[in-house]
Structure 1
Amino acid sequence: MTLQTVILAAGMGSRLGRALPKPLTELSDGRTIMQQQHENIRAAFGSDARITTVVGYRAETVIEAFPHVNYVHNERYDETNTSKSLLRALGATGKSGVLWMNGDVVFDPRILGRAIEFIERDQSFVAVNTSKVSDEEVKYTVTAEGFIDKLSKSVKGGLGEAIGINYISSTYKKAFMRQLSRVDDQEYFEGGLELAIAEDGLLLEPMDVSDLYAVEVDFAEDLEQANLYV
């Protein structure tokens, strides 16, 4: 079965202070953030992996840069958050499980190599970094069985940070979509995951990638850090 992958790239990315959509930010090696994501996906899953990108702000610039993938439009990109962008994409990817990532993540391609084992057994996961726990990042706690219990920026006593690369299994995809449709327009997709855990029994594993680099580029200093790795 062809792996369905989604890149969330609808937002304005105003904190970085660039005119172009953030995924089109150029890295020090000459690639854009989105280009390295495409290359990482192809390296891990081959040319058959289906990439669906959610666009909104200056959508035409992203489509022009990468014309050979699939697109879903979030026309309300300035009024909604990642929960609604992801909901649109999941609705366009059939019944199979979906790997998705935020469009501003610069990461070691070996992270997706590590994800293959989870995807092959259709196990939902959130990639996490346990080496730091910053107040402004999405944090998590786990149950006694080791599955994720809480997942948000407001988590207290977090065990690590989510890096923005995730997978929802085919088994729980429909329930997750229902929860994404319920949450507030300004909610992050993690809010839908938390509801699916609490109400639908979603078993969500933390996939530890603390030994591999991953940077969500929100600010200029994040971009500087990302450029140290590429």
Structure 2
Amino acid sequence: MKAVILAAGVGSRLGRPFPKCLSMLPTGERILGRQIRIFRQFGINEIFVVVGFKKNLIMEEFPDVYYRYNPIYYITNTSKSLCCALEFLDDDVIWCNGDVVFDEGVIREMAAHAGNAVAVDRKKCGEEEVKYRADQNGLILEISKKVAAPEGEAVGVNRIQKNDIPVFLQALARCKEQDYFEMGVEMLIKQGVDFSAVDISAYRCIEVDFEEDLKQALSMFAE
């Protein structure tokens, strides 16, 4: 199994002069450093970080992972950044956004799950959060920011099986430049490819988009 971390974006909503993934946590780790450590903790040692905005800062801070470059990061979103990494990989992959701070248990659950999966937190969501709806068997029906009557948040940690990567790449290629990768996931679901909702509500997990998110993350992971 391999890991992909999407860290190409400018992070304009947070407004820092450096990539969000380099934000420092109270533990002394940067967000990206924490992600890398946790992946390795579960034996996932081939880690590919997709970079763009101020890529040299990330690459100099973490020289011991693999890198893929999204050269048009400033006009594209996560659907295209994910393509940059998946097109080279031939294994099951767990991928996450580079601004998600999570407990070790989140990756434990995703690594243990057989099949395609979306990590979800069953909580009330705001307008900016990616939401989901599942059927009675726990299979994802919808995943986007516009889901009506959502069951909770899709937290930005996901898994794809090796055999489904080619068709997933085709779906991501059909996405518009500013689409999130969740659009590609929805396309696969409509083609009959299953993604299970893996409930990680018992663990701490937060995606840092705004200043308030960062403050909450610093509080949640203070110890």
Percent of pairs identical after alignment? Answer: 41
Give yes or no for the alignment of 1:101 onto 2:96. yes
Q: Distance in 1 between matches of 2:176 and 2:2?
A: 26
Amino acid at match of 2:16: R
Amino acid at match of 1:108: D
Amino acid at match of 1:99: I
Where structure 2 has 5 or more consecutive residues not aligned to the other structure, the ranges are none
> RMSD over aligned Cα, in angstroms?
1.1
Q: Which residue of 2 aligns with 1:127?
A: 119
* Counterparts in 2 of 1:6 and 1:160: CA distance versus 1, 3 Å: same
TM-score by length of 1: 0.93
Q: Distance in 2 between matches of 1:196 and 1:125?
A: 12
Range with bigger deviation, 66-75 or 37-46: 37-46
Deviation at 1:176, TM superposition (A): 0.7
Q: Which residue of 1 aligns with 2:107?
A: 112
Q: Which residue of 2 aligns with 1:31?
A: 29
Residue 185 of structure 2 is aligned with which of 186, 193, 200? 193
Q: Which runs of 4+ in 1 moved over 4 A?
A: none
Give yes or no for the alignment of 1:82 onto 2:92. no
Residue 92 of structure 1 is aligned with which of 88, 91, 103? 88
Q: Which residue of 2 aligns with 1:217?
A: 208
Residue 56 of structure 1 is aligned with which of 52, 66, 78? 52
Q: Distance in 1 between matches of 2:157 and 2:132?
A: 14
Amino acid at match of 1:56: G
Residue 152 of structure 1 is aligned with which of 144, 147, 164? 144
Deviations 1:163-200 (A, max 9, x none): 1100011121111110000110110000000001102x
Deviation at 1:141, TM superposition (A): 1.1
CA contact (8 A) 1:179 1:196 kept: yes
Deviations 1:95-152 (A, max 9, x none): 211100000001111111122221xx3x110000002222221111123432101110
Q: Which residue of 1 aligns with 2:16?
A: 18
SS of the residue 1:53 aligns to: strand
Q: Distance in 2 between matches of 1:25 and 1:140?
A: 28
Amino acid at match of 1:58: K
CA contact (8 A) 1:5 1:99 kept: yes
SS of the residue 1:228 aligns to: helix
SS of the residue 1:224 aligns to: helix
Where structure 1 has 5 or more consecutive residues not aligned to the other structure, the ranges are none
Amino acid at match of 2:179: E
Give yes or no for the alignment of 1:171 onto 2:167. no
Aligned length: 221
SS of the residue 1:101 aligns to: strand
CA contact (8 A) 1:134 1:161 kept: no
Deviations 1:42-72 (A, max 9, x none): 11225xx200000000011110001111100
